[in-house]
C-alpha cells in the first residue's frame, strides 16, 4: 500500500501530542472524570465546559483526556502480548522448519480465518467482560498474524552465512534463534507491531463500545461513545469529542507505521 | 485447474477441522465451562455436577469434541439456550440478512472503488489523487461505530430524516422500505472498506500503465480511454479480486459493530447477543459459520483468479 509522503512526520507529531495529553491528563484536566453537574447536562462547548458535557453533566474535555489512557494501554498492551506470543512461535517455526513448521502454520492459518474481533469475543465469553480480559483477548488474537510475519522473515535468514557460521561454531539453537536471527528480523517486527497498535486500539474501542471492554463509570473513548449513542440527537458533542480523539489516534498510528515501513524498507 | 481445485479443497477441509477445534477449545478449555455459565458462579457443586453429566461435560474433551463435530456435520446444531430455538433456524435467518448487507456493501465498494482507484492512478501525484488517497485513508482509520453514528446523526436526524435510524423490514413487505433500512449500515461498511480496493486498483493500474504493451497501444494511436478500459484495467484488476476476498474477513468483523449500531438483525448482532447471554451452543455455531464463510470465500477467489488469468498455472 502506498503511504502519503509526510506520513512519518505527521503521524509522529499527532502521536506525540496524544501521548503527552494522556500522560498529563491528571494535571491539565479541569474536572474529575466522574464529577456530575446535573443542571448542566448535554451542554455544547462553552466557557465553563470547554468541550461540553455528557448526559450526567460530566466534563467531556476531562473525560476525553483521561479516556485516552485505557485506549492506549489496551492497544500497546495487546500488541506487546501479541509480540510475546507470536515472535517465539514464528522464530521456532521458521528456524526448525519441516513438519513442525507445517503444523504451526496450519494452526496459524486457521486462527487467521477468524475476524480478530470474533476471536476476541470467543475469549471474552469464556472469561467475562473487563478491561484486562479485553487486553488478553485482543493480544491473543494478534499472536497468529505476528507469528506469520516473523516466520517468513526467519525463513529468509535460515541459510544466511552468519546463521550457518553460528551453527558451525556450535552455538545452541536457542542462541542462534534469539541472539543471531531475532535482531535481524526486528525491522519488520517493529513495523508490523506499530501498524497493529492502530488496529488493536480500534478493536479495544469496539469491545468497549459493545459493552464488553472497559466498564462504567470509567472514562474511555469507546465506552463514552457507547453512552453517547442514546443521546446523539439531543447533543452530538459526547459522540464528536471522543470520536475525534479516537480517530486521530488511530490515523496517527497508521501513518506512523506506514511511514516507518517505507523508511525501514520492510515489507 | 481441476487438480489444483481438489488439492486446495483438501487443505480447506483441514483448515475447517482446525477452525472447529479452535472454537471448541476457546469455549471449553478456558476457565468456566458451559455448566458454570448457565448456573452462574454461585451454583452449588452438586447442581454443577448434575448439569455437567446431563450435558456430557464430564466426558473426556476429545470425546466431547468428536460428538460435537458429529452432530454439526449431521445437521444437529443444537438449541440456543437463551432463545429456546434451534440454532440452525436462527443462524440461517440471520446469515441471510447479513448476506444482504455484506453484498450491498461489496457491490458499492466495487462500483465506487474501482473508478476512484482508476482516477487516482491516472492523476498520480496531483491534488485529485492526494484527495482520494487521503479520504480513503481516513475512512479506514475511523472506527465503524463512529462513522455509523455520524451518518445516523446527519442522514437520519430530525432535520434530514432520509433514512430510518435502525431496524430491519422484511423484503416481502416492500423493496423500498427494505432497501432504506439497508442504506446506512451498508454505507458505513463501504467507507471502511473502500481504501483497500482503491489502493489496489491505483497501484495495480499504475504498474500496468508502464508495461510495454501499453506503450505499443499508445503508439498505435489508441485513445487514452480505450487504453485504460480495454488494455490496462483488465490486467490491473486481477489482484483486486484477492483484496475483495480478504476484505470479506474485515467485513465480518465490521458487521458485528455496524449491526449493533443500527440494530440490524444479522449474524453480527446475533454474536453479540450470544456473548452477552453466554449462549454457548449459539456462539460456537456462529463462530464456525463465520470462519467457514471466510475460508470458502477465499477459496472461491483463488479459483476465480486462476480462471480469469490463464497465465497462472498452479502446480
Cell numbers placing A180: 543471531
Residue B313 confidence (pLDDT): 58
Residue B33 confidence (pLDDT): 60
Query: pLDDT digit string (tens) for A237-253?
Result: 999 999 999 999 999 99
CB contact under 8 A, B26 and A198: no
Confirm if B114 and B237 have CB atoms less than 8 A apart.
yes
Exposed/middle/buried for residue B307 (C-beta within 10 Å: 0-12, 13-18, 19+): exposed
Domains identified in chain A, total number: 1
Percent of all residues in chain A with a pLDDT value above 90, rounded to a whole number: 45
In a domain, A2, yes or no: no
Contact residues, chain A, for B283 at CB < 8 Å: 121-122, 125
Contact residues, chain A, for B10 at CB < 8 Å: none
Residue A265 confidence (pLDDT): 65
Residue A175 confidence (pLDDT): 92
Confirm if B4 and B312 have CB atoms less than 8 A apart.
no
Residue B312 confidence (pLDDT): 63
Query: pLDDT digit string (tens) for A31-88?
Result: 888 888 888 788 888 878 788 888 887 888 889 899 999 999 999 999 999 999 999 9
In a domain, A249, yes or no: yes
In a domain, A47, yes or no: no
In a domain, A101, yes or no: yes
Taking the CA of residue A232 and the nearest CA in chain B, the distance in Å comes to: 7
SS3 state at B79: strand
Query: Distance between CA A11 and CA A33 in Å, rounded?
Result: 28
Instruction: Please tell me which of the candidates A110, A118, A251 has its beta carbon nearest to residue B287.
Output: A118
Residue B145 banded pLDDT, cuts 50, 70, 90: very high
Residue B315 confidence (pLDDT): 47
Cell numbers placing A236: 452530538
Instruction: Please tell me which of the candidates A121, A239, A250 has its beta carbon nearest to residue B149.
Output: A239
The domain that contains A187 carries what CATH number? 1.10.3720.10
pLDDT above 60 for A4: no
What is the overall mean pLDDT for chain A? 88
> From the DSSP assignment, how many helices (H) and strands (E) are in chain B?
14, 0
Query: pLDDT digit string (tens) for B92-144?
Result: 999 999 999 999 999 999 999 999 999 998 888 889 988 998 888 888 888 88
SS3 state at B161: coil
Beta-bridge mates of residue B86: B79
In a domain, A105, yes or no: yes
In a domain, A148, yes or no: yes
| pTM of the shown model | 0.87
Query: pLDDT digit string (tens) for B61-77?
Result: 888 888 888 888 888 88
DSSP A5-67: TTHHHHHHHHHHHHHHHHHHHHHH-SS-TT---TTSTTPPS-SSSTT-B-TT--BHHHHHHHH
Q: What is the mean pLDDT of residues A162-191?
A: 91
Instruction: Please tell me which of the candidates A113, A118, A128 has its beta carbon nearest to residue B271.
Output: A118
Collect all residues with Cβ–Cβ distance below 8 Å to A255 and sequence separation of at least 6: A3, A4, A7, A8, A10, A11, A14
Residue A46 confidence (pLDDT): 80
Residue A90 banded pLDDT, cuts 50, 70, 90: very high
Helices marked H in chain A — which ranges?
A: 7-28, 60-96, 98-112, 116-127, 131-157, 161-168, 173-175, 182-209, 221-228, 237-264
B-contacting residues in A 241-260 (Cβ below 8 Å): 243, 246-247, 250-251, 254
Query: pLDDT digit string (tens) for B77-88?
Result: 888 888 888 998
Query: Distance between CA B214 and CA B17 in Å, rounded?
Result: 46
Query: Distance between CA B55 and CA B68 in Å, rounded?
Result: 11
Angle value at C-alpha A131, between B193 and A119, nearest 5 degrees: 45
Taking the CA of residue A140 and the nearest CA in chain B, the distance in Å comes to: 11
pLDDT above 60 for B314: no
Residue B265 banded pLDDT, cuts 50, 70, 90: very high
Residue A182 confidence (pLDDT): 93
Q: Mutation test of the interface with chain A: which of B13, B19, B26, choosing the one with the most A Cβ atoms within 10 A? A: B26
Residue A36 confidence (pLDDT): 83
> Which sign does the torsion angle of CA B68, B70, B73, B76 carry?
negative
Residue A3 confidence (pLDDT): 47
CB contact under 8 A, B134 and A4: yes
CB contact under 8 A, A121 and B256: yes
Collect all residues with Cβ–Cβ distance below 8 Å to B294 and sequence separation of at least 6: A113, A114, A115, B248, B249, B252
Residue of B nearest to A3 (CA): B133
Contact residues, chain A, for B253 at CB < 8 Å: 115-118
In a domain, A19, yes or no: no
Percent of all residues in chain B with a pLDDT value above 90, rounded to a whole number: 19
Residue B104 confidence (pLDDT): 93
Give me the domain span that covers residue A82: 70-264
In a domain, A52, yes or no: no
Amino acid at each position: 500500500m502506498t503511504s502519503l509522503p509526510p506520513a512519518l512526520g505527521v503521524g509522529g507529531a499527532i502521536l506525540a501530542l496524544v501521548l503527552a495529553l494522556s500522560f498529563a491528563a491528571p494535571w491539565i484536566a479541569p474536572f474529575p472524570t466522574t464529577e456530575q453537574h446535573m443542571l448542566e447536562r448535554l451542554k455544547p462547548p462553552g466557557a465553563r465546559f470547554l468541550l461540553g458535557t455528557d448526559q450526567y453533566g460530566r466534563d467531556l474535555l476531562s473525560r476525553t483526556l483521561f479516556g485516552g489512557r485505557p485506549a492506549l494501554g489496551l492497544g500497546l498492551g495487546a500488541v506487546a502480548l501479541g509480540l510475546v506470543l507470536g515472535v517465539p512461535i514464528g522464530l521456532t517455526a521458521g528456524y526448525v522448519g519441516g513438519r513442525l513448521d507445517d503444523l504451526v502454520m496450519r494452526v496459524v492459518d486457521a486462527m487467521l480465518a477468524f475476524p480478530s474481533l470474533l476471536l476476541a469475543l470467543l475469549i471474552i465469553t469464556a472469561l467475562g467482560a473487563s478491561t484486562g480480559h479485553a487486553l488478553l483477548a485482543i493480544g491473543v488474537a494478534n499472536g497468529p498474524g505476528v507469528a506469520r510475519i516473523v516466520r517468513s522473515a526467519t525463513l529468509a535468514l535460515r541459510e544466511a552465512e552468519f546463521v550457518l557460521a553460528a551453527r558451525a561454531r556450535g552455538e545452541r539453537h536457542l542462541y542462534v534463534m534469539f541472539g543471531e536471527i531475532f535482531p535481524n528480523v526486528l525491522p519488520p517486527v517493529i513495523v508490523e507491531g506499530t501498524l497493529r497498535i492502530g488496529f488493536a486500539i480500534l478493536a479495544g474501542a469496539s469491545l468497549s463500545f459493545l459493552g464488553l471492554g472497559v466498564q462504567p463509570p470509567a472514562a474511555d473513548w469507546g465506552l463514552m461513545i457507547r453512552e453517547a449513542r442514546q443521546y446523539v440527537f439531543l447533543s452530538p458533542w459526547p459522540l464528536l469529542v471522543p470520536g475525534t480523539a479516537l480517530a486521530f489516534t488511530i490515523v496517527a498510528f497508521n501513518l506512523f507505521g506506514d511511514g516507518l515501513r517505507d523508511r525501514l524498507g520492510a515489507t | 485447474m481441476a487438480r489444483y481445485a481438489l488439492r486446495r479443497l483438501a487443505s480447506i477441509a483441514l483448515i475447517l477441522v482446525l477452525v472447529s477445534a479452535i472454537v471448541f477449545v476457546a469455549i471449553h478449555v478456558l476457565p468456566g465451562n458451559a455448566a458454570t455459565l448457565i448456573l452462574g458462579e454461585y451454583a452449588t457443586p452438586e447442581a454443577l455436577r448434575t448439569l455437567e453429566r446431563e450435558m456430557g461435560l464430564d466426558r473426556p474433551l476429545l470425546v466431547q469434541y468428536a460428538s460435537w463435530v458429529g452432530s454439526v456435520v449431521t445437521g444437529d446444531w443444537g438449541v440456543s439456550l437463551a432463545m429456546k430455538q434451534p440454532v440452525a433456524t436462527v443462524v440461517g435467518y440471520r446469515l441471510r440478512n447479513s448476506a444482504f448487507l455484506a453484498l450491498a456493501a461489496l457491490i458499492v465498494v466495487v462500483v465506487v472503488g474501482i473508478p476512484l482507484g482508476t482516477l487516482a492512478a491516472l492523476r498520480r501525484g496531483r491534488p485529485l489523487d492526494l484527495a482520494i488517497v487521503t479520504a480513503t485513508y481516513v475512512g479506514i482509520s475511523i472506527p465503524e461505530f463512529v462513522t455509523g453514528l455520524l451518518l445516523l446523526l446527519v442522514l437520519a436526524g430530525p432535520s434530514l430524516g432520509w433514512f430510518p435510524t435502525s431496524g430491519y423490514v422484511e423484503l416481502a413487505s416492500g423493496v423500498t422500505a427494505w432497501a432504506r433500512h439497508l442504506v446506512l449500515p451498508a454505507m458505513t461498511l463501504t467507507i471502511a472498506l473502500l481504501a483497500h480496493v482503491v489502493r489496489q486498483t491505483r497501484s495495480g493500474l499504475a504498474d500496468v500503465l508502464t508495461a510495454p504493451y501499453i506503450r505499443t497501444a499508445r503508439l498505435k494511436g489508441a485513445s487514452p480511454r480505450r487504453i485504460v478500459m480495454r488494455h490496462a484495467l483488465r490486467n490491473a484488476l486481477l489482484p483486486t479480486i484477492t483484496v475483495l476476498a480478504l476484505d470479506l474477513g474485515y467485513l465480518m468483523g465490521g458487521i458485528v459493530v455496524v449491526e449493533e449500531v443500527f440494530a440490524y438483525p444479522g449474524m453480527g448482532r446475533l454474536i453479540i447477543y450470544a456473548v452477552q447471554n453466554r449462549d454457548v451452543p449459539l456462539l460456537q455455531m456462529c463462530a464456525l459459520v463465520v470462519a467457514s464463510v471466510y475460508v470458502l470465500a477465499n477459496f472461491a477467489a483463488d479459483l476465480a483468479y486462476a480462471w480469469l488469468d490463464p497465465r497462472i498455472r498452479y502446480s
